[in-house]
């Protein structure tokens, strides 16, 4: 065994050289991995005893791509291009042995090998698009040459990880090795190559063509999904180049577009989000060995939309759920909705009927709170009323077994106060699911004053198990997500009174990248949610719309008018009502620029985020970004509100907030933290 460098070994198995990479956690192509590969291949090619070369990785995976943390830094060591040229031009057959995932630059390394062998559990993919990038090491030119333009379009714009069996069928992998016996399989394959004098196949020598219509159709079919993103379109252009240009010309197109993306703000945002999604699970102050409470059964109080959606999360992963209601009718309705949801999923082919029954078999209903005595986790999901919640928690305190977690799904109420209704506040926590709870990825885990570390750690782990992305937040009105949303809503409403029409505000936020603006959202949800017919405290525009039976999409009209296909049109009636309200309050309506709309809806959110950090209600700025991306449709290519603040520049954010403060008052007053960072020329990302 000869060490090439700290992460690479070169050994001989008879006449087969084996280069082994070992660079945890994922063998990413950091500079010493590239160096090791370069020197390893050089040595193996030079060694007269070696007739063929196998590249294999230790640990849980083959090379998972370029080292994302190295982007933007100075290049050092051998370049990936040099490594690839050395491999591809090797006079001895090179075989890549793949387990785990061969992703991005990792697959691009495998694609310059002459052959690829994988275990059945392995997966291959070019997921660069999810980092706002395209494969920048020849992948855009090589993949289509193997799998054809259509499959390449699908793989590269979705970033999917394709299972080895499918790779074999597509020709991306040449042979499967027995699970757990990759090295033996790859070495045997290398011997076969030698014995049968199989050719040194270079993917670059192959050809690919496609009907131009394929690209036009693909763009059209995915226009909605790709809206706002640069990377999918750039990936498509590279595949077009592969189909129309000689290999080296295609590579030049790839290089140019890759450089544009890697130096741009979208990719910076998406790379930041990649790390933010992993950071969010790390809770300072909670030791790794904190005791985890085994959760084998879950009780849910309330079989409404929220309770039912929450239940499905646990049923989906095989955890039995008992759901409690006060009336048989409500219970039956709730259980029926869950069944219907599963059956609809089955109709779409994403569940089998056996799976539907399996999941429903884990669900029981009851009218007795006492039936939760054996639940390890109890989640209260009833309407937002402090007195009622306290009563429920008081009862639970007597019913629940020792050590059970008592969670509330409140989105608004003070969990510290709810906890006072029990004798075990350390067991009480907020689990704020977002509607629809079986679909939305975000979970705000709300730590109250006395919540124990075990309860927090268990909640985070459970969130991961049910496929959520969880952010740990503190108790404050609206927690993180809704607290910031209030700022945006406040200004959206204010600007409507000042002269911007709802569709102006919606358009600006839609163009920014949100799936829809706040008024379109209200129309979708229904304007009568929380509608209080008692207008003695003053009537709002929304009240008036409801009175006119303009309650949103469901009544064919709300802020907007809708046609029979639910296409929204600006409404003269709404405009008239707004003008009348403005006149009543003596306001002069004026033209409001798109820039002002954007600044007044977004900058107060950034400011509120800073206050949340000051108060310690979120652990780090990137956690806030995770909340907004996963719970509120913030466009991932803008990295979340805090990252966006950084890209605008915090000094500019402060300057604009002060400008509005001088005109409209202290709603816009910059927080101390924001002022401090701006004065020091820092970003939220620089906070330690």
Q: Note the residues at the interface with ligand 3H9 (CB under 6 A).
A: 25-26, 28, 61, 64-69, 80, 101, 103-105, 108, 127-128, 131, 133, 135-137, 139, 275, 278
Q: Min. distance of Cβ 573 from ligand 3H9 in angstroms? A: 50
**Which of 24, 449, 71 has its CA nearest to residue 258?**
71
**Rg for the chain, CA atoms, rounded:** 29
CA distance 15 to 50: 5
**Which of 396, 392, 459 has its CA nearest to residue 429?**
459
Smaller CB distance to ligand 3H9: residue 23 or 452?
A: 23
Q: Min. distance of Cβ 265 from ligand 3H9 in angstroms? A: 17
Smaller CB distance to ligand 3H9: residue 127 or 308?
A: 127
Q: Min. distance of Cβ 603 from ligand 3H9 in angstroms? A: 31
CA distance 290 to 461: 11
Q: Min. distance of Cβ 579 from ligand 3H9 in angstroms? A: 51
Token pair for 112: 């310059």
CA distance 674 to 159: 36
Q: Min. distance of Cβ 463 from ligand 3H9 in angstroms? A: 15
**Which of 61, 68, 60, 55 has its CA nearest to residue 29?**
68
Q: Min. distance of Cβ 84 from ligand 3H9 in angstroms? A: 10
Angle (CA) 547 552 553, round 5°: 145
Angle (CA) 468 469 473, round 5°: 120
Q: Min. distance of Cβ 15 from ligand 3H9 in angstroms? A: 32
Smaller CB distance to ligand 3H9: residue 31 or 667?
A: 31
Which sequence positions are flagged as catalytic? 108, 128
CA distance 568 to 558: 10
Q: What is the DSSP string of 186-208?
A: HHHHHHHHHHTT-----GGG---
Residue 252 has, within 13 A of its CA and on its CB side, a CA count of 5
**Which of 406, 418, 396 has its CA nearest to residue 376?**
406
The SS3 of residue 614 is helix
Smaller CB distance to ligand 3H9: residue 40 or 139?
A: 139
* Strand-pair category, 560-562 with 568-570: antiparallel
Smaller CB distance to ligand 3H9: residue 135 or 635?
A: 135
Smaller CB distance to ligand 3H9: residue 257 or 508?
A: 257
CA distance 673 to 87: 52
Smaller CB distance to ligand 3H9: residue 139 or 517?
A: 139
Q: Beta partners for 568?
A: 562
**Rounded to 5 degrees, what are φ and ψ at 151?**
-65, -35
Smaller CB distance to ligand 3H9: residue 88 or 128?
A: 128
Smaller CB distance to ligand 3H9: residue 40 or 127?
A: 127
**Which of 605, 622, 12 has its CA nearest to residue 281?**
622
Q: Min. distance of Cβ 226 from ligand 3H9 in angstroms? A: 18
Q: Are 36 and 5 in contact (CB under 8 A)?
A: yes
CA distance 438 to 308: 8
Q: Min. distance of Cβ 318 from ligand 3H9 in angstroms? A: 21
Contacts of 7 (CB under 8 A, 6+ apart): 21, 22, 23, 32, 33, 36
Residue 654 has, within 13 A of its CA and on its CB side, a CA count of 19
Q: Min. distance of Cβ 63 from ligand 3H9 in angstroms? A: 9
The SS3 of residue 284 is coil
Q: How far is CA 80 from CA 3, 37, 38, 203, 301, in A?
A: 20, 9, 9, 17, 56
Q: Min. distance of Cβ 282 from ligand 3H9 in angstroms? A: 8
Smaller CB distance to ligand 3H9: residue 81 or 581?
A: 81
Smaller CB distance to ligand 3H9: residue 135 or 645?
A: 135
Burial class (CB within 10 angstroms; exposed 0-12, middle 13-18, buried 19+) of 204: middle
Contacts of 410 (CB under 8 A, 6+ apart): 380, 384, 389, 418, 430, 432
Token pair for 655: 């300057």
**Rounded to 5 degrees, what are φ and ψ at 531?**
-70, 125
């Amino acid at each position: 065994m000869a060490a090439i460098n700290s992460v690479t070994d070169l050994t001989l198995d008879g006449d087969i050289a084996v280069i082994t990479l070992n660079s945890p956690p994922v063998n990413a192509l950091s500079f010493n991995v590239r160096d090791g590969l370069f020197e390893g291949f050089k040595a193996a090619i030079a060694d007269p005893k070696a007739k063929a070369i196998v590249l294999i990785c230790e640990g849980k995976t083959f090379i998972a791509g370029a080292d994302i943390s190295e982007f933007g830094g100075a290049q050092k060591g051998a370049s990936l291009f040099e490594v690839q040229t050395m491999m591809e031009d090797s006079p001895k057959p090179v075989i890549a042995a793949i387990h785990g995932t061969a992703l991005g630059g990792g697959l691009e390394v495998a694609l310059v090998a002459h052959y690829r062998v994988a275990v059945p559990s392995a997966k291959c993919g070019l997921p660069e698009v999810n980092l706002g990038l395209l494969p920048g090491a020849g992948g855009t030119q090589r993949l289509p040459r193997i799998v054809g333009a259509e499959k390449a379009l699908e793989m590269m714009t979705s970033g999917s990880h394709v299972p080895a069996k499918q790779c074999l069928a597509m020709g991306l992998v040449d042979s499967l090795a027995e699970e757990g016996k990759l090295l033996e399989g790859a070495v045997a394959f290398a011997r076969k190559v030698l014995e049968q004098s199989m050719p040194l196949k270079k993917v670059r020598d192959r050809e690919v063509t496609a009907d131009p219509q394929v690209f036009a159709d693909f763009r059209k079919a995915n226009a909605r999904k790709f809206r706002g993103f640069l990377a999918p379109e750039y990936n498509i252009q590279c595949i077009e180049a592969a189909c129309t240009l000689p290999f080296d010309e295609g590579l030049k197109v790839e290089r140019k577009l890759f450089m544009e993306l890697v130096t741009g703000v979208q990719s910076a945002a998406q790379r930041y989000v990649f790390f933010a999604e992993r950071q969010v699970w790390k809770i300072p102050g909670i030791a790794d060995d904190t005791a985890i409470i085994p959760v084998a059964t879950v009780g849910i109080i309330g079989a409404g939309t929220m309770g039912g959606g929450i239940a499905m999360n646990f049923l989906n992963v095989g955890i039995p759920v008992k759901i409690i209601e006060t009336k048989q009718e409500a219970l039956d309705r709730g259980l029926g909705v869950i069944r219907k949801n599963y059956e609809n999923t089955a109709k779409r082919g994403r569940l089998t009927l056996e799976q539907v029954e399996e999941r429903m078999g884990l669900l029981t209903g009851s009218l007795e709170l006492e039936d939760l005595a054996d639940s390890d986790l109890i989640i209260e999901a009833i309407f937002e009323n402090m007195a009622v919640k306290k009563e429920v928690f008081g009862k639970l305190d007597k019913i629940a077994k020792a050590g059970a977690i008592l969670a509330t799904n409140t989105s608004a109420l003070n969990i510290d106060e709810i906890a006072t209704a029990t004798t075990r506040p350390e067991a009480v926590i907020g689990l704020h699911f977002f509607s629809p709870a079986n679909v939305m990825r975000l979970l705000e885990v709300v730590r109250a004053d006395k919540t124990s570390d075990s309860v927090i750690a268990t909640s985070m782990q459970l969130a991961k198990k049910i496929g959520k992305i969880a952010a740990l937040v503190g108790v404050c009105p609206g927690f993180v997500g809704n607290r910031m949303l209030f700022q945006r809503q406040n200004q959206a409403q204010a600007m409507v009174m000042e002269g911007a029409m709802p569709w102006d505000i919606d358009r600006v936020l839609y163009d920014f990248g949100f799936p829809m603006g706040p008024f379109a959202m209200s129309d979708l949800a229904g304007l009568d949610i929380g509608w209080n017919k008692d207008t003695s405290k003053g009537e709002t525009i929304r009240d008036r719309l409801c009175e006119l039976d303009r309650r949103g999409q469901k009544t064919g009209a709300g802020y907007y008018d809708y046609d029979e296909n639910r296409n929204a049109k600006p409404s003269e009636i709404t405009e008239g009502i707004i003008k009348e309200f403005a006149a009543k309050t003596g306001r002069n309506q004026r033209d409001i620029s798109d820039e002002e709309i954007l600044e007044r809806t977004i900058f107060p959110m950034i400011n509120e985020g800073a206050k949340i950090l000051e108060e310690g209600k979120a652990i780090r700025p990137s956690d806030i970004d995770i909340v907004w991306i996963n719970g509120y449709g913030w466009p991932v290519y803008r990295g979340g509100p805090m990252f966006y603040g950084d890209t605008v520049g915090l000094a500019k954010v402060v300057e604009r907030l002060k400008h509005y403060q001088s005109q409209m008052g202290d709603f816009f007053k910059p927080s101390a933290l924001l002022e401090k960072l701006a004065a020091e020329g820092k970003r939220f990302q620089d906070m330690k």
